[in-house]
Amino acid sequence: MANYFNTLSLRDQLTQLGKCRFMNSSEFTDGVDELKGKKIVIVGCGAQGLNQGLNMRDSGLDISYTLREAAIKEERQSYKNATGNGFAVGTYEELVPNADVVINLTPDKQHTQVVNTVMPLMKKGATLSYSHGFNIVEEGMQVREDLTVIMVAPKCPGSEVREEYKRGFGVPTLIAVHPENDPQGHGLAQAKAYAVGTGGDRAGVLESSFVAEVKSDLMGEQTILCGLLQTGSILCFDKMVAKGIDAGYASKLIQYGWETITEGLKYGGITNMMDRLSNPSKIKAFELSEELKDIMRPLFQKHMDDIIGGHFSKTMMEDWGNDDKNLLSWRAATGETAFEKTPAGDVEISEQEFYDNGVLMVAMVRAGVELAFEAMTSSGIIEESAYYESLHETPLIANTIARKKLFEMNRVISDTAEYGCYLFDHACKPLLGDFMKNVDTDVIGKAFDQGKNNGVDNAKLIEVNAALRNHPIEVVGARLRASMTAMKRVI
């Protein structure tokens, strides 16, 4: 199998990378009709499998799970997830031949083997669905000509897919039809109905391509969403402790700090997050983030280039072939970091204090979000997609760190995201070595303007505010957040 993206002509590469249309809610008036009464069988019952299945069943769809035989026999967690929630479970041979739609929600590493096993059992004209297109785009999986291939990719962890649905809403979702596999022309209608089933239509759906989803998803998760949050957690914690700040306080400031400060992003983007700081702190955070952007830009660009060119997927697949040696050793090493091992102290930290004493964390978030967005859009990914894969998803990943630190983040995200996160972290920490030598507790651990007057230069403040507010991510973000809020009001 060859990398599908690399087999395309430049024109087709650019067309598929740039495919992204924010769909109007009027396009979803048929609800789940296209899939009503159809047999939908999900392969795997993990982070996405369980939560998508619960939502689709509550939306009136016929959902059952097929698991590998050993998982059923040994009553593994996937089996318990499915049966414990009252779903029918069966082997591939029992369920796949009658399925109208087979949804592959196993880890990316398993896709080739899983698809090669289930495909011969699938009935003529059925549909195969994914939530991430790695197998199609990076591995070049060839799917039987009579089968339709679609993707419905929620832009968030599985736990949020369920939580938002229960709140009567949903999460932004990207849908796509593989152009090589749409023999009956109904792929888009099915993907739309599936997105309604998970609640995605209530938050916003992007009609995109497998290619755009893969390249943007990989970039977001490796850099700002997971990689930089990991690097920032470790570096900020070590700095505070080295400078004599109580380790329990430092641990708590970081564990809950990402969640608190990125909450500001949800409501009003980077502008709002930065506006939560006093004027002197905001100017300091701006200057730090400019410096961080200059230092980290080549690394963000390298990740984007390696993703676009296929170097990243090639090297990760080598690790798959090596029994995940890198992934497992990097996971173990993360568990040994001082931040992971130091429990959050029993101290009260107010919401405002997380901002005031976390100026460096705010600067890291601004730098990472903007750099990821810039690297994606300059590679042909449309702004809406780049927004979801950077700013929008950062608070959702930050929530996972608040639950159980980096362990929880890396547990909840896909193995693919986890691998890319460690790769970025290992390159980023040394890159920030000199920068970190020059920072002190006035920007991490204590308030920047403590005991000083609150004065700033007017011209400087105007310049900083303009730079923040006029960044393209703020423009597209304001539009997307307004439509999400409008959708929420309609429901």
Ligand X SMILES: NC(=O)C1=CN([C@@H]2O[C@H](COP(=O)(O)OP(=O)(O)OC[C@H]3O[C@@H](n4cnc5c(N)ncnc54)[C@H](OP(=O)(O)O)[C@@H]3O)[C@@H](O)[C@H]2O)C=CC1
Ligand Y SMILES: CC[C@](O)(C(C)=O)C(=O)O
> Which residues have a catalytic role annotated?
132
- Closest approach of ligand Y to the CB of residue 229, in Å: 10
Binding window for ligand X (CB under 6 A); candidates: 47-55, 205-213, 222-230, 303-311: 47-55
Residue with Cβ nearer ligand X (44 or 420): 44
Q: Is 414 in the site for ligand Y (CB under 6 A)?
A: yes
Query: Among Mg ion, ligand X, ligand Y, none, what does residue 114 contact (CB within 5–8 Å per kind)?
Result: ligand X
Q: Is 413 in the site for ligand Y (CB under 6 A)?
A: yes
Scanning residues 204 to 263, which ones bind ligand Y (CB under 6 A)?
217, 221, 225-226
Q: Does 217 bind Mg ion (CB under 5 A)?
A: yes
Q: With binding defined as CB under 6 A, does residue 121 bind ligand X?
A: no
Report the relative pairing of strands 39-43 and 89-90 from DSSP bridges: unpaired
Q: Which residues pair with 40 in a beta bridge?
A: 63, 101
Beta strand pairing call for 173-177 and 148-154: antiparallel
Interface pick for Mg ion out of 72, 417, 428, 432 (rule CB under 5 A): 417
Name the helix (H) or strand (E) containing 127: strand 127-130
Which of Mg ion, ligand Y, ligand X, none has residue 225 at its interface (CB below 5 to 8 Å by kind)? ligand Y
**Which part of the chain contacts ligand X (CB under 6 A), choosing from 104-112, 174-182, 385-393, 443-451?**
104-112
Residue type, 19: K
CA angle, residues 324, 325, 328, in degrees to nearest 5: 80
- Residue 132 phi/psi, 5-degree rounding, is -155, 135
Nearest Cα neighbor of 92 from 123, 69, 125, 116 is: 69
Instruction: Between 406 and 417, name the residue whose CB sits nearer to ligand Y.
Output: 417
Out of 48, 59, 279, 400, point to the residue binding ligand X (CB under 6 A): 48
332 is in an annotated binding site: no
Is 217 annotated as a binding-site member? yes
d(CA 479, CA 100): 37
List Cβ neighbours of 383 (8 Å cut-off, separation of 6 or more). 373, 377, 472, 473, 476
DSSP assignment of 328-361, as one string?
A: HHHHHHHHTSHHHHSPPPS----HHHHHHT-HHH
- Cβ–Cβ under 8 Å, residues 428 and 222: no
Interface with ligand X in residues 62-91 (CB under 6 A): 67-68, 71, 76-78
Tell me which residues in 157-176 interact with ligand Y (CB under 6 A): 157
Rg of the chain over Cα atoms, rounded to whole angstroms, equals 23
Distance of alpha carbon 273 from alpha carbon 268, whole angstroms: 7
**Residue 107 carries which DSSP code?**
-
In this structure, what token pair is assigned to residue 241?
Answer: 């402790």
By C-alpha distance, which of 451, 432, 449, 448 is closest to 236?
Answer: 432
Q: Does 153 bind ligand X (CB under 6 A)?
A: yes
The correct pick among 18, 31, 46, 345 for binding ligand X (CB under 6 A) is 46
Q: What are phi and psi of 231, to 5 degrees?
A: -60, -50
Q: Stretches 14-22, 119-127, 302-310, 414-422: which one binds ligand Y (CB under 6 A)?
A: 414-422
Please report whether residue 222 would count as binding ligand X according to CB under 6 A: no
Binding residue count for ligand X, defined by CB under 6 A: 28
**Residues in the annotated binding site for NADP(+):** 45-48, 68, 76, 78, 108-110, 158
Contact residues: ligand X, CB under 6 A:
44-49, 67-68, 71, 76-78, 105-108, 110, 113-114, 131-132, 153-154, 157-158, 413-414, 416
Contact residues: ligand Y, CB under 6 A:
155-157, 217, 221, 225-226, 393, 397, 413-414, 416-417
Contact residues: Mg ion, CB under 5 A:
217, 221, 414, 417
